[in-house]
Structure 1
Amino acid sequence: MDNSTSKNDEIVPKYNMNHGKRGKALIFNHKIFDENLDLSIRDGTDMDCKRLDQVLNKLDFHVTVYTDLCYKEIHTVMKKTSLENHEDMDCIAVAILSHGAEDAIYAKDTFYKLDDVSDLLTPDNCPTLANKPKLFFVQACRGDRVDKGIRSAFVDAVESKTNTSLTMPSQADFLIAYATSPDFVSFRNPRNGSWFIQTLCDVMEEQGYHLEIVRLLTLVNYRVARMFEPEYKSGVAKQMPCIETRLTRDLLLKPKCVVLEKCDC
């Protein structure tokens, strides 16, 4: 009997999402920057921050918002978080809303690399988050190129309980969802917020409990790529979000169980 089919159809295991708590969500919201950086005020970011706070709370995260922090303050928050006990938590989420450039994100006073803060959550720095998802959502430009888009004639058709010791890469179990592709700008409406964060919140509200996270973010990609087409300077502008995944299992943010009080009637 040929077993090649069954071997190729190996089922991807799922992350354990049955801990007592979902976990922390940190939102670093940047609107105003030091004058020496010569960066514009990010009007509309408060809309993103408020909406993201609401949606992550609905998905059972314990959300904390930080506004216009300097880099050392951001690093301190992340370092403190890495030293906390996350044993009874499913995962952690970090959202950064700011200006950005190639390989850089801006704090209030200077730029930094995402690795400068994300590496604080690796298993050697934060053992209680080992083998747990670490989710980053980054709303920032990644360069100054503008995607003009291209017309196309294509039309779419509508965990094991065994306690086995295993060495895993330190960079495993991270997922980073960027608002745009490397070298390109991302867009933000001064009144309504950014395309990426607002679409992410829409999809999370609709499908947050039902879609595996990579599929959920693929739907975000689909909507941002298809549904936005503003006039930008001399022509049309498009935006393509980018998912970088190092997850090793499927991740589904299923609802946390609610323990009801017994009545005395």
Structure 2
Amino acid sequence: MLMEECGHLPAPPRLGDLRPVELDLHGGKHNKSVSFPGRLSVPVQAESERPQMPPMPAQGSAVDKRNRDLVYELKSDPCGRCLILNNVNFSRDSDLSTRDGSDVDCEKLEKRFKALSFDVLTRRDLAAQKMVLELQELARQDHSALDCCVVVILSHGCQTSHIQFPGGVYGTDGKAIPVEKIVNYFNGSHCPSLRGKPKLFFIQACGGEQRDRGFVVDGDSPGDEAPGGSLESDATPFQTPAGNVDQPDAVASLPTPSDILVSYSTFPGFVSWRDVSSGSWYVETLDSVLEQYARSEDLLNMLLRVANAVSAKGRYKQIPGCFNFLRKKFFFRCK
């Protein structure tokens, strides 16, 4: 970067062009050198003759963020498609409760991603197979003229056997879909038009049944109240899939994931809290962070803000996290 900057600067004056002049140490403007008794006078280059450095871009500015090799370019309008799968009501046979407050999450994210230049499609209360069909339909579409793809899933979740990405999400019929399966619909093998382009997944679902009470730290504890009657979790028990999994062959046959980021609302194995009136902790915080920082910060930095804010809530604890296989920084394009 320094070599590129210096390549555009005028050549510095030769030593013979610098003339010794007297410098008034008491603040004279026109004196240009310092003389010491018994020593040579020291030439000082005149201010007008010094090469002028171009102004550096302000930190966080568009030039500072986007004119670099390690940043994804979002030039299309819309910049990509966003699919939101919002499961609220589940069949009686599933033994899964109604996810009150999820519509609040869905509405927030619809507005947010539209403001971030995405073409948003929402589907509500889908059984597992219909969820799969919607995901496959999105993956089969031609994304050649687009720069990105986003998938948001709001549902009950569970632990699953996995190789790459942990966790699973439930359809309204109580059947689970591994997150790993969802992500792989969009990899380089199954979705060629998204090769080399960022594919972002946001999962609001429990990763298990464990309830984290946290640990004691110095300083004041957060002021949020303990989860009460209006606070629910999206947890379901761990289920071991039927049949044996030939893991060595499965690993060898999977393509290397690239340009993929999966953001989870909670650590694998733990519950994810949702308020029936204000929505889930994760989505509420994610929406707020995107609103405040999407114009100036990259996605990973914003997800750190989300994790930090959510981890400070309530007596029960929750810590969002992500599996990041992006090759570059990702900045949303704000309208």
Structure 1 segments unaligned to the other structure (5+ residues) = 1-10, 156-168, 230-235, 257-265
Of 82, 86, 91, which residue of structure 1 is paired with 2:143? Answer: 86
What residue is the counterpart of 1:27 in the other structure? Answer: 84
Of 91, 98, 101, which residue of structure 2 is paired with 1:41? Answer: 98
Letter in 1 for 2:265: A
How far apart are residue 154 of structure 1 and its match?
Answer: 7.3
Deviations 1:211-237 (CA, angstroms, capped at 9, x unpaired): 1000011111111112x11xxxxxx20
What residue is the counterpart of 2:304 in the other structure? Answer: 218
Fraction of identical pairs, as percent: 32
What residue is the counterpart of 2:172 in the other structure? Answer: 108
Of 171, 175, 181, which residue of structure 1 is paired with 2:267? Answer: 181
Letter in 2 for 1:62: D
Q: For the pair shown, which has the larger CA radius of gyration, 1 or 2?
A: 2
How far apart are residue 20 of structure 1 and its match?
Answer: 3.8
Distance in 2 (CA, whole Å) between partners of 1:209 and 1:136 is 20
How far apart are residue 81 of structure 1 and its match?
Answer: 1.3
How far apart are residue 80 of structure 1 and its match?
Answer: 1.4
Using the TM superposition, name which of 145-154 and 56-65 deviates more: 145-154
Q: Where do 1:58-207 residues align within 5 Å?
A: 58-102=115-159, 103-109=167-173, 110-153=175-218, 170-207=256-293
How far apart are residue 84 of structure 1 and its match?
Answer: 1.1
Using the TM superposition, name which of 117-126 and 37-46 deviates more: 117-126
Q: In the alignment, does 2:323 pair up with 1:244?
A: yes
Structure 2 segments unaligned to the other structure (5+ residues) = 1-67, 160-166, 221-254
Distance in 1 (CA, whole Å) between partners of 2:334 and 2:278 is 29
TM-score scaled by structure 1? Answer: 0.82
Distance in 2 (CA, whole Å) between partners of 1:94 and 1:146 is 27
Distance in 2 (CA, whole Å) between partners of 1:16 and 1:130 is 14
Distance in 1 (CA, whole Å) between partners of 2:158 and 2:139 is 26
Contact 1:180–1:241 (Cα < 8 Å) also in 2? yes
What residue is the counterpart of 1:5 in the other structure? Answer: none
Letter in 2 for 1:38: D
Contact 2:117–2:333 (Cα < 8 Å) also in 1? no
Contact 2:158–2:206 (Cα < 8 Å) also in 1? yes
Distance in 2 (CA, whole Å) between partners of 1:12 and 1:40 is 47
TM-score scaled by structure 2? Answer: 0.65
In the TM superposition, structure 1's runs of 4+ consecutive aligned residues that sit over 6 Å from their partners are none
Distance in 2 (CA, whole Å) between partners of 1:26 and 1:192 is 22
* 3-state SS of paired residue (2:311): helix
Distance in 2 (CA, whole Å) between partners of 1:139 and 1:207 is 21
How far apart are residue 86 of structure 1 and its match?
Answer: 0.7
Distance in 1 (CA, whole Å) between partners of 2:295 and 2:139 is 26
How far apart are residue 153 of structure 1 and its match?
Answer: 2.4
Q: Where do 1:44-55 residues align within 5 Å?
A: 44-55=101-112
Contact 1:22–1:89 (Cα < 8 Å) also in 2? yes
- Taking CA–CA contacts closer than 8 Å with sequence separation of 6 or more, which of the two structures ends up with the larger relative contact order? 1
What residue is the counterpart of 1:7 in the other structure? Answer: none
Using the TM superposition, name which of 12-21 and 39-48 deviates more: 12-21
How far apart are residue 35 of structure 1 and its match?
Answer: 1.1
Contact 1:210–1:254 (Cα < 8 Å) also in 2? no
Letter in 2 for 1:45: S
CA RMSD of aligned residues (A): 1.6
Deviations 1:105-132 (CA, angstroms, capped at 9, x unpaired): 1011111101222211111111110011
* 3-state SS of paired residue (1:121): coil
What is the count of residue pairs matched by the alignment? 226
